[in-house]
Structure 1
Amino acid sequence: MVRSTSIAGKIFDVLNMIFLVFMACIMLYPFWHVLVGSVLPYEEAIKTSFNLFPRSFSFEAYEYVFSKDTILKSVIVSVIVTVAGTLYQLFVTAITAYPLTKQDLPGRSAIFLFIIFTMFFGGGLIPYYLLIKSLGMVNSLAVMIIPAALSTYNMIVLKTFFQNIPIDLEESAKIDGAGYMRVFFKIIIPLSVPALATIALFIAVGQWNNWYVPMLFLNDKELWPLAMVLRDVLINNNMELTRGGSFVSKEFMLGDTIKNAIVMVSVIPIIIVYPFIQKHFVKGVMIGSIKS
């Protein structure tokens, strides 16, 4: 950050810093509110809905959440879907974007326009449901992975990154006898880690938070991911998923605390993963912003 030496510049820096700190507090408060609400004892939680700094802590809600098979199964389902879906979509996106960078690809423009067409026009929800049903993917985890094979936006981002890789590297490899597949896996992929990490993060967050597809196609609650369980608990106020079908005073007392704990359980994995790919993410989001 470049700091100004003039008085006006220093005043601007101070005001800018105050503004950024204020905005950061606004952004972080909802997260902090849920975090505090998940560790508040019942006696303190019922006194007021605003607890910025709790005087005591209780992890009873987390103990209760992790003691329920429904939550644990949904976490496992979310992990499986997120990992498998991210790897699958990343692979399909990469092998689609790379050929489209080649000028000698037959029908390259037509293929690209056909893919772009899907960004603006779709068949609609009913035809989509009938298609999924005809493929036998209703009540199957495959419905959360296979249909979402390719994001046109991610493909365009990755295609742009591939085009910025010096063509001389590929030509040198081809002179040494390497084919397109070897060039792709040995040269293009290693050089594209920032872009791939960025797209992988976008895909993983989308898969982890995906509740719409399960709502449409997963009738069996045993297959619900954590996002769908969270939606049912928060929006429909369905505490049966955490009670195991019976009303107990303890669940009633910890109702809001349990909801906050489930929210934190759904958020923490992404927060844990992000620092490991942050250095690649910062580079990846700059794709196309600077031209050499």
Structure 2
Amino acid sequence: MIQSKSLGSKVFNAFNIILMSLLSLSCLYPLWYTLCLSVSDKAAANSGKVSFYPVGFSLASYQQIMGDTQFFRSFLISAERTIFGTIFTIVVLAIFAYPLSKSANEYHPKNVIMWIVIFCMLFNGGTIPWYITMVNYGMIDSMIGLILCGGLPVFNLILLINFYRSLPKELMEAAEIDGAGVWTVLFRIVVPCAIPIFATLILFTSVGYWNEYFQGLVLSSGEQHYPLQTYIKQMVVNIQTTNLSMDQIEKMDKLSNQSLDAAKVFIAMIPMLVVYPFLQKYFINGIMLGAVKE
């Protein structure tokens, strides 16, 4: 009996390892394929010969990107939006979630506010009323407009509320007995105890701001104001050869739209791939603690 259980456990573990390995490869392959396509030559990229490895290694796409000023302008717009948007969102979530984590007896408007928040998460007025509102508030071609569009993600708010509820009430009560006010309790007791969930929310929020493209398209009057993902979504390579030298024409002849697009997409992924490992250690604890409602 013991041997059969041991054999069954080994089979189960082997199955899990194989399954997790396949799932991991399915997640990694799109990244690897994008990299391979970006460093393949024009003929291989256009003919669809690139699959698991580069064909006809070429850095022409990356050399072209180095001279694309609009790409780097959009990159800086996205970086600014992600940094300031994440700071704004985390501050708003930290403050807004605290009273909503209290009971209805401690904070009387709690139920009404929660119903309003949930309603806004499930329903919206549509794109046209939203656009008219943004125009009336002067949010076109504005960094503030790009930030405010995602300023209060309700799902993240619910995670933070449930995390706040899981904290021992004795901590807050002891601080209040010592004379601490609401702001002191929040920023010196509650927030330091919530570092894991805040790391998780920072990851969610920064990835959301970095990858969002539709709002940048609607709220921008021209590509000079596009965030990076909007620019990549809208980019069309139009090569004008009339005013180019022979050397430039030879370089353009080696360039493929597909490999160029893949190179831009791969470069756009790098910041999030760099940031994620530093926050990953908090990710599991943060998402589990914030998801359990006591």
Structure-1-length-normalised TM-score: 0.89
2:165 equivalent in structure 1: 163
2:58 equivalent in structure 1: 58
Matches within 5 A, 1:66-77: 66-77=66-77
Change in 2 beyond 3 A, CA 1:145/1:46: closer
Residues of 2 paired with 1:91 and 1:270: CA distance?
Answer: 21
Matches within 5 A, 1:121-140: 121-140=123-142
2:92 equivalent in structure 1: 92
Residues of 2 paired with 1:46 and 1:124: CA distance?
Answer: 39
Aligned pairs, how many? 284
Contact 1:210 1:227 in 2 (8 A): yes
2:285 equivalent in structure 1: 283
Residues of 1 paired with 2:262 and 2:122: CA distance?
Answer: 37
CA offset at residue 186 of structure 1?
0.8
Answering whether residue 23 of structure 2 is matched by residue 7 of structure 1, we say no
Match of 1:183 among 182, 185, 206: 185
Query: Matched residue of 1:136: which SS?
Result: coil
Residues of 1 paired with 2:137 and 2:292: CA distance?
Answer: 44
1:65-93 superposed Cα distances (whole Å, 9 cap, x missing partner)? 12211111011000000011111111111
Match of 1:228 among 223, 227, 230: 230
CA offset at residue 57 of structure 1?
3.8
2:254 equivalent in structure 1: 253
Contact 1:86 1:204 in 2 (8 A): yes
1:31-76 superposed Cα distances (whole Å, 9 cap, x missing partner)? 1111111122446545652342337643332232122111110110
Residues of 2 paired with 1:10 and 1:246: CA distance?
Answer: 68
Between the aligned residues of both structures, percent identity stands at 32
RMSD: 2.4
1:120-167 superposed Cα distances (whole Å, 9 cap, x missing partner)? 221122111111111011122221112322111111110000011111
CA offset at residue 12 of structure 1?
2.5
CA offset at residue 171 of structure 1?
1.1
Answering whether residue 272 of structure 2 is matched by residue 274 of structure 1, we say no
Structure-2-length-normalised TM-score: 0.88
Query: Matched residue of 2:85: which SS?
Result: helix
Query: Matched residue of 2:49: which SS?
Result: coil
1:211 equivalent in structure 2: 213
Following TM superposition, where does structure 1 have runs of at least 4 consecutive aligned residues deviating by more than 4 angstroms?
43-48, 242-249, 288-292
Change in 2 beyond 3 A, CA 1:277/1:153: same
Structure 2 unaligned regions, length at least 5: none
